Every structure is written in structure tokens, then in C-alpha cells.
Homo-oligomer: A and B are copies of this chain.
Amino acid sequence: MSNPFLVNHGPFLISNILSNLKLNYDKSKKDYEIYDIKDLLSATNKDISFFHSKKYSNLAKNTKASFCITTHNLKENLPKSCEPIIVENVLVSTSKITEIFYPDSIHDNFDITSRNINETKFKDKVKYGKNVLIGENVSIGSNCLIGHNSIIEKNVSIGNNCSIGSNNIIRNTLIKDNTRILDNCVIGKHGFGFFPIKNNNLRFPHIGIVLIEENCEIGCGSTIDRGSMSNTVIGKNSYLDNQIHIAHNVRIGKNSIIAGQVGIAGSTIIGENVKIGGQAGISGHLNIGNNVEIGGGSGVINDIPDNRKVMGYPAKSIREFLREKK
């Protein structure tokens, strides 16, 4: 599992897990113990997995999971060692099972365990402002600063020489050395993931974290959501300007530069040395290569190979954009 913080409430019997999905399971394996829910690649024979799209057929063929949530059409791809569990909506069922193992991954109520830093072991170790709160399961390296009114909620690890500004809220986040978070940021909240259901949407669990690597800077008023099944990652020495929104599962490579008010939608992968101009928006589930430059205000709706310079909405070669617009 990608989140070193969340408590796994398993194992559970497979029959109990499935009764939760309103599935009656009375086969020989009904007392089989399941320890975790994992993707097709990382699941072991003690885990249950999920398989919802043809594009993962190769992973499905080789999965070591003992059970797999899937559909009638897809089940033929699974190996004999893996028993298919047929459901109507794979992701909804996956979501419900994940909630059984990780009940804390659905809701992000405020962290009621947070105490004033004066009352914690960090009192003499950290330089801090007024009204700083610290939750459970927090570690902070040497030579760190935490500004006024900042709330380091539960499940946060901060490296050495980090400067956290004022009015920040951080949870489920791992921050490496020499990183600076400016002010008014919210980092590590669950992403905008749910299944639309009339009158009462179903929230998707978020069992990932936010990982911010060494030497990064995160500007004021930014929001970085934690991952759903994987992590959200900001690579080494990447700088983000103010009012940026990074959605769940986004991965940004090292040495990237992102100007103000940029938004990156869920699960998009950004390469290294990428420059993104102000207010640009990038759709979800895209691959943006290394050394790419994206002009300010662009709307990127397709993958971009390495070394390209693009601009426009939808974004195209910057030369073409400027020629057409003359």
C-alpha cells in the first residue's frame, strides 16, 4: 500500500468482504483470509485485486491475487489461481472494499487529535509561531520552521531544514529536506473522487499520500490532494507558484517550474524539467514528457512527447499557435 500512515483494519474473511457487496459467497474458499486490496501488479496471494479495463489485460494475466473484482467480459484474462468476483461496477465495488480495510480514507473531517505544539515533544526542537497545532503520528526533522496558525494534522513527516509558513493545513503528507511551503496551503486532503449517485454521491477512498521531495517550493494558497490508490508526487527541486491546484495521483518530475493559478487534473504524469505558464490547465490521465514547455493559459487535452513547446486551447505546437493567430 502506498500510504505508510493509514491503518489497515484487515485481515477479513472473503465471505465477509463479499457480503458487504451484497454478494453471497458460499464456496469452499469462504474462510480464506484477505489481508489487503491492491492493484493487479502488487497484489500477493493474500490479497484481493480489481480489474476494470481491457488496457490492464497483461497485468491481469500475471496477477498473484487470489481474488479479483471484475466483469463477465474481462474475467477470462485472469489466471486460474485468481478467482473472479463478478460485479456490475468494478470501481464502486473496489471503493466499498477499500473502505472496509481503510475506513479512515473516505472522510476528511478536521483532525480532532491535534494539540498545541507547546504540549508536544516538538516544543524545543522546532521554531514555531502562535497557535501551531500538531496531530498524531507526526515527525519533524531538525532545523525546521512552522508558521502561525499552521495545522500539521495526523500522518505527516517533515524532513530537515524545511520552512512551513502560516495558515497551512497538512495531512497524510511526506515532505523531504529543504522544502518550503509558503502560506494558506491545504496539502494532503482527499481528492475530488466519487461516484455520482442521485441525491447522495458515493465518495471514493483515498489511501495514497502526498510526497513532496527535496528542495521544493509550494506557493501561497495552493492545494495538493493526496492520491486515491497511488500517491501524488512533487519531484525534487520543483517550484510551484501561488494558487495552484494539483489533483489526486498527479506526479510531477524533478526540476519543474509551474507558474501561478495552474491546475493539473487527476492522474496526469508530468516529466522532468517541465515549464508550465500561468493559468494553464492540464486534463486528467495524460502523459507530459520531459523538457516540455507549456505556454500560459494553455488547455492541454492530449499527451505531449518530450522536448515540445506547446500553447493554445487545445494546446498545439507554439509555432503553429502563433502563426495561426496572427
Cβ-neighbour of A314 out of B148, B254, B325 (below 8 A)? B325
Question: What count of chain A residues pass the 8 Å CB interface test?
Answer: 75
Is the beta-carbon distance between B112 and A186 smaller than 8 angstroms? no
A199 within 8 A of B: yes
A66 within 8 A of B: no
Is the beta-carbon distance between A281 and B261 smaller than 8 angstroms? yes
- Give A133-185 interface residues, CB cut-off 8 Å to B: 133, 145-149, 151, 163-167, 169, 180, 182-184
A114 within 8 A of B: yes
Query: Which of A164, A254, A281 has the most chain B CB within a 10 Å cutoff?
Result: A281
Is the beta-carbon distance between A169 and B183 smaller than 8 angstroms? yes
- Cβ of A225: which chain B residues have Cβ within 8 Å of it? 242
Is the beta-carbon distance between B109 and A130 smaller than 8 angstroms? no
Is the beta-carbon distance between B297 and A299 smaller than 8 angstroms? yes
Binding site for B on A (CB under 8 A): 107-112, 114, 116, 127, 129-131, 133, 145-149, 151, 163-167, 169, 180, 182-184, 186, 189, 192, 194, 196, 198-201, 215, 217, 219-221, 223, 225, 236-237, 239, 241-243, 245, 247, 254-255, 257, 259-261, 263, 265, 277-279, 281, 283, 296-297, 299, 301, 312-314, 316, 325
